[in-house]
Amino acid sequence: MSGADVVVQVLADEGCDVLFGYSGGAILPVYDAVFRYNAEHPRSNGREPMPLVVPANEQGAGFMASGYARASGKVGVAIVTSGPGATNLVTPIRDAMADSVPMVAITGQVPTSSLGSDAFQEAPVSNIMGACAKHVFLVTEPGRLEATLRTAFEIARSGRPGPVVVDIPKNVQNAKLRFDGAGRLPIPGYRQRLHAIEHARLDDDACARFFAALAQARRPLIYAGGGVIRGDAARALRAFVDAFGVPVTTTLMGLGGFDTTHPLSLHMLGMHGTAYANYAVDDCDCLLALGARFDDRVAGVPEKFAPRAKFIAQIDIDPAEIGKVKQVHWQHVGPLAAALERLTRYGKVHGAALQLDDWHAHITQLKRAHAMAYDHGSENIQPQAVIEALNRHARGRAIVSTGVGQHQMWAAQYFDFRAPRDWLTSGSMGTMGFGLPAAIGAQFARPDALVIDLDGDGSIRMNLGEMETVTTYGLPLKIVVLNNRGDGMVRQWQKLYFGHRFAATDKSLHRKDFIKAAEADGFDWARRLARKEDLEATVAEFLAHDGPAFLEIMIDPDAGVYPMVGPGASYGQMITGEFIASRASPAVTDKETTDMF
């Protein structure tokens, strides 16, 4: 086979059913091989076995691959050319690394004889990507191509998932090679560490210490992160909660890891988490961190986070996360699902029973007293009302993708997330422009699902070219733009901390007619909603439309995201805004928990 044919055959062997990428000279052999493979392996339904989806630019391809991976749990694949094609993937690669998303990016490269000569469209991909990917391969020996690609998939999906970049010079793509159909590179150190982690099991002593501490707790709380979803541990978490009755709050990336409509769910915690979740963190005497890393948007000032917790346990697949931000009293490095299943079995066998009636009542009171709320009496359309309407009509069953900003936080706060992989957002990197291409990737991953891109007017502009991708491929994607005519989250910070000096945000672009843009890109259903009384009917019609639909909603430009925990503040200093009740002091004193442990 040619090297390019080897690339495509390995992709097929790894189970890839859709690829995303943009062509160029240095990747043309692989693109030609994809074309020929699809022509030679037609499916009975006439569809291509491995379609290659072409976006408006390479960044879009990277976010589509990421959205595909997040929605499916499989490895997403992006294939781009050298130079600017590769560098346009830097942001999606770093975004995937920060959120632990399995991806393989294949980049074309100038011939090996030209490396380092500043040849046309040459870029030092290994140097650039090495700092932001899980691993980078530069294939200079054609005979190692097949093994390198198979190893790339192994690294991307194993342990803590992440993106792997394979940089392939054009002469390697054109080389004549023997295809073995198997084989991987010798990476003994990685495999040895991975084997130890993936086969780590909790012994009786560790389980006994865990339950001894849990038995003394009167206010235990689970703090669940994105690791619950990445580690396919949602079912195991639900079983643990059903067995022992410990309430759950999740991070932004953990939404969907535990059904947010469950009575023991406190929804999201953190900087813009629910007030009742944050107050519960303040009140808890025992914290179980599951697949969560105490990041700055949750833990804030670490010594002020969960200040009354006398026992903190942490389970994670990545040993680097254990105790990195906040010291813990009990830890386990290994697969989260297996650890939770083991703890649940042990607890049941040994009759672990927690007396949590008072804590459950306290949680119920917190949710009642500090419920999410907003200005229902305003004449302007409130963004929270929009999301509530979308949620009602979707019945909490939609895949929701977002950009980054106020709309992202409102979506996280007001949508129901009943299952894993229904929530796609850029968490750690906070990348504007993520929502639309990620939603496209999710729609390819789950073609029969209702996929909604809830975006902001600032965020969607960054990858607006992908609107045409939606209609080109006939995707039934539903796009909602909450238009407050500006970068709302930045303006909110400027109001609170910069004396209403709207530097740069008062010069936002205002001339864009999103409806004309959508119509120009082929959307048959494109509407602008400006009247509050038309909200319910318009949302119903929008979601019922059979095909791609675009809805721009002119929202209250002064609507803010609350609650909000400011920089350097504790949860007790949380700003709850005008419509959510706050409390002056914590409901639990240190004296009440002093003698528990």
- Could you give the residue numbers annotated as active site? 58, 120-121, 170, 489
Helix (H) or strand (E) holding 428: none
Q: What is the largest CA-CA distance in the chain?
A: 75
CB 170 within 8 A of CB 110: yes
Can you tell me the distance from the alpha carbon of 144 to that of 151, in angstroms, rounded to the nearest whole number? 10
Cβ contacts of residue 555 below 8 Å, gap of 6+?
380, 381, 382, 383, 386, 482, 483, 484
Cβ atoms within 10 Å, residue 183: 11
Can you tell me the distance from the alpha carbon of 337 to that of 232, in angstroms, rounded to the nearest whole number? 7
Give the three-class secondary structure for 575.
strand
Burial call 82-103: b when 16+ CB within 10 Å, e when fewer: bbebbbbbbbbbbbbbbbbbbb
CA angle 45, 46, 47 (to 5 degrees): 95
Cα distances (Å, whole numbers) of residue 158 to 151, 162, 228, 418, 560 = 10, 8, 15, 26, 40
The stretches of 395-433 forming alpha helices (DSSP H) are 406-414
Cβ contacts of residue 483 below 8 Å, gap of 6+?
456, 457, 514, 552, 553, 554, 555
394's tokens: 């979707």
306's tokens: 């969960």
Q: What is the DSSP letter of 272?
A: T
How would you list the strands of the sheet with 478-483, edge to edge?
Answer: 423-424, 399-402, 451-456, 478-483, 549-554, 525-529
